[in-house]
Amino acid sequence: MGLNVSVPDEIDEVVDGLVPSLFRDAPSSVSFNKLRKRLLRQVRQAFDDFGMLKDQKRWLVGLSGGKDSYSLLAILLDLQWRGLLPVELLACNLDQGQPNFPKHILPDYLTSIGVKHRIEYRDTYSIVKEKVPAGGTYCALCSRLRRGNLYRVAREEGCDALVLGHHREDILETFFMNFFHGGRLAGMPAKLLNDEGDVMVLRPLAYCAEDDLAKFSAAMEFPIIPCDLCGSQDGLQRNAMKAMLADIETRMPGRKDTMLRALAHVNPSHLLDPKLFDFSGLSANPDA
C-alpha cells in the first residue's frame, strides 16, 4: 500500500476551460485545492492498489445523503471529468421508509448537477424496527437489508460494481470491532465479491481520512440528510472504537495511517492461525 503516490500534472488542469457544475461554486482557496488534490490522489491510489478499474464499465454509486457518500460521488465525478475514470456512473439512493425523510433533497440535487440516478423505495425501516428487540442495535440488520437491495438494483441496471463511501476510519473501526468483540482478524476490504459472485463491492475512499471528507463536504455545502435509524442510537460498539482511535491519534499522531499500513502487511508465520501457515510442518535443519 503506497499512500505517497505522485500525482500527474493533469490533476491541476482545467479540461477544455470548463468547470463541472458540481464544483462551479466550490472554494478557490489554496487549502481546499490541496484537500481536493489529496483526496483525488488517494482514490487513484486505491484504484491502482486493488485493481478497481479492471473490466469495469458501469458503477452503481450508493448515495445515503451523508458526507461520505456525497464526497465519494463528487470525487468520482471529478476523476471522470478529468478523463481518469472511464466508467459510467449511476447514483442510487435507497429510500428505506424512515419517518420525516426529505424525499426531494437527493433527486433535486442530483438533477441540478446532471447526474444519472435512481431512487429506490423499500420500507426496510419497518422491518428493522419490528425485528430488532428493544435496546438492540439496528446497524447489522439495516446494513444487510440495504446491501441486498443495492445488489438487486446493480443487477437490474447492468452495473459491474456497487461503490460505497466507507473510508479509513470505517475500515479501522471494523477491524477493532472484530478484534475485540468477534475474536478474529478481519476488517472491511477495499474490494470484495458478493456471495453470489456477480457484483463487485468497491470502496475507493479506503485511504481517505474521515476528517478530510468532513472538511470537503462542508466546503462543498452538500445537502446532508441525517440518519434517523442507526445514526440516532447512542452507545454503539462502533462509537466506542471511534473514540478509542481518536484518543490514540491525539496522543500519537499518525497512528491511524500506521494501522492502515499494517492491514496491508500481514505476516502469517507471526500469527497463530494454522490454516494460514503450516506450523506443524515447520522443523529445524541441523545441517543449516
> How do residues 136-193 score in pLDDT, each as one tens digit?
566 666 677 778 789 999 999 999 999 999 999 999 999 999 999 899 999 999 999 9
Beta bridge mates, 193: 200
d(CA 232, CA 227): 7
Residue 197 has pLDDT above 60, yes or no: yes
Beta bridge partners of 279: none
Containing structural domain, residue 67: 25-233
Give the three-class secondary structure for 9. helix
Q: Spell out where 55-96 has E strands.
A: 58-62, 88-95
The whole-number pLDDT of residue 98 equals 74
More confident: 79 or 146: 79
Find the helix packing angle between 210-220 and 168-177, rounded to 10°: 140
Examine residue 261 and state whether it is found in any structural domain, yes or no: no
Beta bridge partners of 202: 163, 191
* 243 in any annotated domain: no
Percent of the chain with pLDDT over 90: 65
Phi, psi of 120 (to 5 degrees): -110, 125
Q: Across residues 65-70, what is the average pLDDT? A: 94
> What's the structural domain count of the chain?
1
Distance between CA atoms of 98 and 106, rounded to whole angstroms? 15
The beta-strand segments (E) located in the chain are: 58-62, 88-95, 117-121, 161-163, 191-193, 200-202
283 in a structural domain:
no
Q: In this structure, is residue 219 part of a structural domain?
A: yes
The three cell numbers locating residue 115 = 447526474
The answer to whether 23 and 56 have CB atoms below 8 angstroms apart is no
CA atoms within 13 A on the CB side of 176: 19
Residue 48 lies in a domain: yes
Is 12 domain-assigned?
no
pTM: 0.86
CATH number assigned to the domain comprising residue 132:
3.40.50.620
Measured CA to CA, the distance from residue 13 to residue 10 in angstroms comes to 5
